[in-house]
Amino acid sequence: MNSDLKVWLNGKLIPWREATVPLLSHGFSRSSAIFEVFGVHVGPKGPMAFRMDEHIKRLMQGAELLGMELAYSAEEIMEAAKATVHATSLGRGLIKILAYWSEEAIIKLVLESKLDLAVFAIPESEGLGLDDAKPISACLSKWRKIHPETVPAGAKACANYLNGYLARKNANSRGFDIGIMLSTDGFLAEGSIESVFIIKDGVLKTPPLGRILSSITRMSILQAAPKIGIPVVEYPITVDEIYAADEIFTAHTGIKVSPVTLFENRDLQAPGPVTKQVMRLMENIIHFNDDRFMDWFQPLT
């Protein structure tokens, strides 16, 4: 990564390459870490964070679900994000926040220390693929979404991403862009790093929270779509319903809406008419062209 970039680490802005942890740290060797990623968009008055308040709330909830304690308050984390954006002169890009145990732990599993905190401001680049809403292909993953009684699926915990990694790897090896996972009870869950929506007869449908990540993009789409007359429902969606969907799209922070053009052996219109409306809605929101959603942004200046 660009060595000119600065990382906010436990209260200090330091060079990117110096932001490291010991190999035997609990965070690295046992994956005890949680994180957040949210978008930075350039508004008329400078860089603005998309729903930073909600992302930081989810980070705090994640720590609580895992019985871990953050060393900083929500306000302090927001100030850290601002300082990092300022030090990086960030325009369009992402903020990534990582909370982890840097303490070495060879045998000990439960630590008493508070989590370290690192904040990264990452400029837009081709590799990040931000706003790249090109149609994607999706298959049904052979891997199921981790059951919430094994680890909290609602926490954005680094360890949970082995599950997502396997689903993506399996999909790629079959020639698909992404894998859609079912929950262990056989209903639609989500992709590796994306929420999944289906459309049938004009209704936007997505699984309820409980067995999936409480995605901020998902929440935003569910709140905004009814405002343009698209009905939304959250309920356990069967595999048959995925196959019979008129349209499918996925959503996450980096790319608000990605239309699915192929699901297993089924071609789909991508984007279909409803997906197109949702894409336009979200695009208008992130380009500050929809006054109804201005309070979804927080200034980073």
User: Could you list the residues that contact ligand PLP (CB under 6 A)?
Assistant: 164, 190, 193-195, 213, 215-218, 252-253
CB of 294 to ligand PLP, least distance (A): 19
Q: At how many degrees (to 10) do helices 216-224 and 273-286 cross?
A: 110
Distance, in Å, from the CA atom of 54 to the CA atom of 90, rounded to the nearest integer, reads 21
CB of 221 to ligand PLP, least distance (A): 9
Distance, in Å, from the CA atom of 273 to the CA atom of 247, rounded to the nearest integer, reads 8
CB of 148 to ligand PLP, least distance (A): 13
Q: Give the residue from 289, 298, 249, 250 showing the smallest Cα distance to 38.
A: 298
CB 102 within 8 A of CB 30: no
Nearer to ligand PLP, 105 or 296 (CB): 296
Nearer to ligand PLP, 14 or 209 (CB): 209
Distance, in Å, from the CA atom of 186 to the CA atom of 149, rounded to the nearest integer, reads 16
CB of 161 to ligand PLP, least distance (A): 7
Nearer to ligand PLP, 80 or 95 (CB): 95
Nearer to ligand PLP, 60 or 87 (CB): 60
Q: At how many degrees (to 10) do helices 216-224 and 52-65 cross?
A: 130
Which residue type occupies 243?
Y
CB of 126 to ligand PLP, least distance (A): 19
Nearer to ligand PLP, 103 or 293 (CB): 293
Pairing state of beta strands 33-43 and 93-100?
antiparallel
CB of 216 to ligand PLP, least distance (A): 4
Nearer to ligand PLP, 105 or 130 (CB): 130
Nearer to ligand PLP, 90 or 189 (CB): 189
CB of 295 to ligand PLP, least distance (A): 18
Distance, in Å, from the CA atom of 1 to the CA atom of 262, rounded to the nearest integer, reads 34
